[in-house]
Amino acid sequence: MTEIQQFQRYTARVAIRRGDDWEVRPECERLDGQEVFVTAGWLMDEADPYPGEWAMWLEDSAITWIASGDLTDMRNAGSVSL
């Protein structure tokens, strides 16, 4: 498993989790199975929807961020200039 570092850029495959009472938004459904570029944003805490996971900013997407738990095959793709 890749250790996530803030502001680091990664490639990853989207693997949306599904649960009994979870509604998957159509824009997320379209990304499922796709390889994407993401940048590690912030480690979510108890006030966030997925505590203990990273919020990963998506490149070139209508979706702003995705939880790290919905990503697989994550590989380092270089750092981001801020």
pLDDT in tens, the chain (82 residues): 679 999 999 999 999 998 878 788 888 889 999 999 999 999 999 999 899 999 999 998 888 999 999 999 999 997 666 5
Residues in the chain: 82
Whole-number pLDDT of residue 42: 96
- Give how many domains the chain has, as a whole number: 1
HEC profile of the chain = CCCCCCCEEEEEEECCCCCCCCCCCHHHHHHCCCEEEEEEEEECCCCCCCCCCEEEEECCCCCCEEEHHHEEEEEEEEECCC
User: Which pair of tokens denotes residue 45?
Assistant: 């805490």
Q: Is residue 55 part of a domain?
A: yes
Domain housing 28: 8-79
In a domain, 63, yes or no: yes
Q: Is residue 23 part of a domain?
A: yes
Residue 27 within any structural domain of the chain: yes
Q: What is the pTM of this model?
A: 0.85
